[in-house]
Amino acid sequence: MAQLGRYRFLSIAVVFHLVYIYSIFSIYFVSPIVHGMREHYVEAQEAPAKRLVLFVGDGLRADKAFQSFPDPSPPDESSEEANIPRPLAPYLRSRVLEHGTFGVSHTRVPTESRPGHVALIAGLYEDVSAVMTGWKLNPVNFDSVFNRSRHTWSWGSPDILPMFEQGAVPGRVDADTYDAECEDSSKDALELDLWVFDKVKKLFQDAKSNATLNAELRKEKNVFFLHLLGLDTTGHAHRPYSKQYLHNIKIVDQGVQEITELMEEFYADGKTAFVFTADHGMSDWGSHGDGHPDNTRTPLIVWGSGVATPIVNISGLAKGHEDGFSSDWGLDHVQRHDVAQADVAALMAYLAGLAFPTNSVGELPLSYLDIDLKSKAEALLVNAREILEMYHVKEETKKSTELYYKPFSGLNDDKHSVEYRIARIQESIAAGDADDAIRQSSELIQLGLQGLRYLQTYDWLFLRTLVTAGYVGWIVFAITTVIDLHVLTQESKTFRTVPSMVAFSSALVALYSVLFMQQSPWIYYAYGFFPVMFWEEIWARRPALIKGYKVLFGHVSSRTDIIRLVFSVIGFFGLLEALVQSYFQREIFTVCYLLAAIWPAFYGSDFMGENLVLVATWIHSCLLMSVFTLLPANKVEDLSLILIGGGLMFTVGAFYLYFEKSIVADAKLSKDKTSSTSVDGLSRIIMGTQVGLIALAMIVTKSSIWYIQAREGLPPGTKYVGWFTLVASLIVPYFHGLQPNNHYIHRLVVIFLQFAPSFIILTISYEGLFYFGFCLCLFCWILLEHQVYNYTSPRSSTIPASANALKPAVAAAADRLAALKKGDYRALTLADARIALFFFFFLQSAFFSTGNIASVSSFSLDAVYRLVPVFDPFSQAALLILKLMAPFAVMSANFGILNRRLGVAPSALFMVVMAVSDVMTLSFFYMVKDEGSWLDIGTTISHFIIASLLGVFVAGLELVSEFIIGGVEFEKGSKKEAVQVEEKRNGKVNGSNGGTH
């Protein structure tokens, strides 16, 4: 019955958490894309420009584009002139000073290439859930500037161009891409940009001899898109302050100048508009993805036909520079015009005389246009109508499905209706009051966006209530199941009555009826099913809760017991809250490790004296672990630290290999003896191979780093040796099954060595030191927990004093071992909550000790370039995940062994952790934001997903643990242990081991 309950529980846990993870996308990040809108364009005799050219410097930060630096690639490095700071993009700077308008384009999270380009070209902020469904092609169809053009020619990366080609009218967009293999991070990435510039030059060169192509190029409303990936690739490999990145800026500037002059010479009509910008920025650590200002601020420079010339303030600071961000650009006298990234799509559409993309939420930045006020007012009114068209379509869709629809108040009554407001704007334009018309149009655009926001959040209250009921129900259901299986040691009877079944069934039917009538997505039915199922089960099994309460708290009778229990509960939930805050401040882990270091002292000096070496090792391991969360999450490649970490891992393996026989035979630290103390020669050969692979990993990593830093390309031999080392290190340990050694220390060493090469090849700094310290801390913890359990278990006063006093205890222990094999495990006590909390703490520590997993930008690709130098997001992500998951495999093995040593069921403590973890998940659910700071938005999303996945993760760890430690055996221990085993069998633990300290 227990086993059946265990697997049923794990299955429910996995399904529930996977379904409810999606809840934030159903609530906070529903796709804003709707279809069926009419197109809107400005009716004018002539468009400001006949054609438009878009340059996107992928990964170019706004400050780096305008700041001055010494020449990164001077003809003579020894000359004094080489050290004089100068603008690295003089041509683009000349556009700012003399010919066009500039500013900062502010992007949104996630600051990745795909959503950045969608915002630039479609005017749409793609929701996170859509980004998750595909990086290269469109998960959903959306309109774009390219689709509105007569024809678009594009050149660049195969990761970006195809999604605009396939999302457009067939044949409207030409996409010329280089091979994915060209995106090799071990080589000079500026070649990618040179490839693009050469392709554009070739197109116009071919037009001189191809009359058809020439005619196509000279038509109006054409768009040219140059995607320049070199900066992004160089920034990842060398950081945005490196000479390579700065030199790449020079190359881009030269290329932009050449293409601009080429087109002006080809057309010779002065009717081309040029836009230069970036999809996202880049952090100092060569990463992006989150909402750090370095990632969200990108340059925007627009010049050419229809574009306003610079507004210069010769007497002081020009407008737009008030934030101080551009103080070191030398452009304080030129007015800065900042925009939201989606505004660029509206700007490009207007300049080229195209209809606004129907999904665009961008507001036309009028300060960039060289037209009269009346024309600006008319253009902004069309922009407002395009946005309101989306609101109208979305509102009609919502009305058709809602049982009772409550309209948006800002556009509801007659005096605030869309028609009334548009009429007022048209009257102002006709009366010559363009300024008032612009003001009203801006207000109407904001009202339209607010209306879209209202419709986007219409179902929030209902869904939040449903999800909250589900999570709370799961927590109580999990606690009930734990009590059933592992406190009462068997499933209690359920008490279902006809009235209760009718009540819960009626609630589910009523809920489903509402969802059906409102044509809700199928996932809503799942959100509604789980709360009803959980609470019905809790109601039916309420006697188990009552009985479990009496068993767990039956010993709490005196005032002292109550005070201890209160402080223990406060400490328990205090640590949970500390773990919540640790997602924002990693340093909290340092405090927790320092407190954990003194934990053994709570058991008194006698305990400390009996386990002096173990306690000292524990303290030192905690002190070591406390250091890592004080170190920066973003790291610079440091070969010395990599080799030191590898050297420690090699030393552990060599030490164990040399002293294996004595360690396994004596096991002095654990006071356990192996069931078989013989050390097989084959086993030693296999373990020696594991140790050798660590040395090989150190050698090949050093070689790979040298080649990559030299920009000579990664030799195939070095790459293949690296792959061989990594794969072999993961496979070789399974050969131990040919001659198994089931001592738990031997098994833990094998697992430690299995992942050691991964923490050499796939790390860039101190991660190898963390792996060593983390494994040491875990090993000390399971030994300490076992000693604490033995020390705090009740002593027997009934065993007769005789020469053969040990015999009954040993016999009882033997019976107990036989019972354990049959699944007869001891019941959980309140003290086990502390063990579950420790495990939960280590789980969080493994995520955050070497970086901030909640921030995409804390991951560096430097290490994976040693195996996959060519850009491949999926294989590179898989390698990062492998390194991330390695500590958890070690942790699951240690926890599984601790379970066995304490005599509890394999799933018992894992189930407690799963019940506890969702207290944190629910906290993060209400912290999720979809507005405000982009950093806050991205952070809250990742926090919730991590916390929610812990339920699935812990379930997976249990299965991993069962696989890894299969066959591990323990022999009978000392006289004291044998006596305690007998007493535990007699049921004396619950009353005396009830503390949670």
- The mean pLDDT of 511-533, rounded to a whole number, is 88
Token pair of 812 as six digits: 């009882």
Pairing outcome for strands 272-277 and 51-57: parallel
Backbone angles phi, psi at 284, to 5 degrees: -60, -15
pLDDT band at 368 (very low <50, low <70, confident <90, very high): very high
Report CA torsion sign: 30, 35, 37, 40: positive
Q: What tokens does 33 get?
A: 């894309």
Tokens of 621: 């391991």
**Angstrom distance (rounded) from CA 253 to CA 87:** 10
* CA 440 from centroid of its chain's CA atoms: 41
Cα–Cα distance between 933 and 296 in angstroms, integer?
10
From CA 578, how far away is CA 595, in angstroms rounded?
13
Nearest Cα to Cα of residue 943 among 632, 584, 587: 584
Q: What percent of the chain has pLDDT over 90?
A: 39
Looking at residue 290, its amino acid is: D
- Cβ atoms of residues 767 and 850 within 8 Å: yes
Residue of 822 and 74 predicted with greater confidence: 74
Which helix H or strand E contains 625, and what residues bound it?
helix 612-628
| Arithmetic mean of pLDDT over the chain | 82
Q: What are phi and psi of 281, to 5 degrees?
A: -95, -145
- pLDDT attached to residue 424: 92
pLDDT category at 852 given cuts 50, 70, 90 is low
Which residues, in sequence order, are bridge partners of residue 153?
174, 224
Give the separation between CA 956 and CA 951, rounded to whole angstroms: 9
pLDDT at 747: 85
Residues 915-938: tens digit of each pLDDT:
778 888 887 787 776 654 444 555
Q: Which two tokens stand for residue 452?
A: 């879209």
Q: What is the domain partition of the chain in residue ranges?
A: 58-368, 460-553, 555-573+585-665+681-792+828-904
Best CA proximity match to 276, nearest among 86, 47, 96 = 96
pLDDT for residue 247? 93
**What string of DSSP letters covers 430-447?**
HTT-HHHHHHHHHHHHHH
Q: How far apart are the C-alpha atoms of 957 and 888, rounded to whole Å?
A: 7
* Three-class DSSP category at 297: strand
Most trustworthy range by pLDDT among 152-166, 329-343, 860-874? 329-343
The sign one gets for the Cα dihedral 554, 534, 834, 3 is positive
Q: How is residue 870 annotated by DSSP?
A: B
Q: What pLDDT sits at residue 555?
A: 72
Cα Rg for the chain, rounded, in angstroms? 33
Lowest mean pLDDT among 269-283, 604-618, 707-721: 707-721
CA distances from 246 to 69, 232, 275, 619 (A): 8, 12, 21, 47
User: Which pair of tokens denotes residue 312?
Assistant: 């210069």
Type of residue found at 795: R
Average pLDDT (397-405) is 82
Residue 665 confidence (pLDDT): 61
Question: 110 preceded by cis ω (within 30°)?
Answer: yes
| Residues contacting residue 706 through CB under 8 Å, at least 6 positions apart | none
**Spatial distance between the Cα atoms of 832 and 907, rounded to a whole number of angstroms:** 13
pLDDT in tens, 940-950: 666 777 777 76
Q: Give the phi and the psi of residue 937 in degrees, each rounded to 5.
A: -60, -55
- Parallel/antiparallel/unpaired status of strands 222-228 and 151-156: parallel
Contact 543, 492 (CB under 8 A): yes
Give the separation between CA 440 and CA 376, rounded to whole angstroms: 13
CA distance 705 to 363: 47
Cα distance between residue 970 and residue 892, in whole Å: 18
> Using an 8 Å Cβ cutoff, are 747 and 733 in contact?
no
- Span 58-368: which CATH code? 3.40.720.10
Where do the H-state alpha helices sit in 712-854? 716-731, 744-755, 758-761, 767-792, 806-821, 831-848
Contact between residue 733 and residue 751 where contact means Cβ atoms under 8 Å apart: yes
So what's the pLDDT on residue 1? 38
Distance of CA 977 to the CA centre of its chain: 46
Pairing of the two strands 101-106 and 339-340: parallel
Average pLDDT estimate for 404-424:
84
Among 591-600, 814-823, 851-860, name the one with the lowest average pLDDT.
814-823
Q: Which DSSP state fits 633?
A: S
Query: What is the per-residue pLDDT for 675?
Result: 39
Average pLDDT over residues 534-548: 86
Residue, of 576 and 3, whose pLDDT is higher: 576
Q: How confident is the model at residue 808, as a pLDDT?
A: 42
Task: Specify the pLDDT at position 806.
Answer: 44
**How big is the CA angle at 97 (ends 95 and 98), to the nearest 5 degrees?**
70
**DSSP character at residue 550:** H
What is the token pair recorded at 131?
Answer: 């980004």
- pLDDT for the residue numbered 680: 64
**Residue 132 reports pLDDT greater than 60:** no
Say which residues have a Cβ less than 8 Å from residue 502's Cβ, sequence separation at least 6.
none
Give the separation between CA 695 and CA 702, rounded to whole angstroms. Answer: 11
Strand partners, 272: 51
Distances (CA, A) of 666 to 657, 662, 669, 673, 678: 15, 6, 9, 6, 12
pLDDT digits (tens, 9 = 90+) for 225-270: 999 999 998 988 788 988 999 999 999 999 999 999 999 999 999 9
Q: Are 891 and 842 in contact (CB under 8 A)?
A: yes
Mean pLDDT of all residues in 879-896: 81
Residue 689 DSSP SS3: helix
Question: Most confidently modeled of 50-64, 182-196, 457-471, 650-664?
Answer: 50-64
Rounded to an integer, what distance in angstroms lies between the CA atom of residue 787 and that of residue 782? 9
Residue 373 has pLDDT above 90, yes or no: yes
Residue ranges of the alpha helices (H) in 218-337? 230-238, 243-267, 293-296
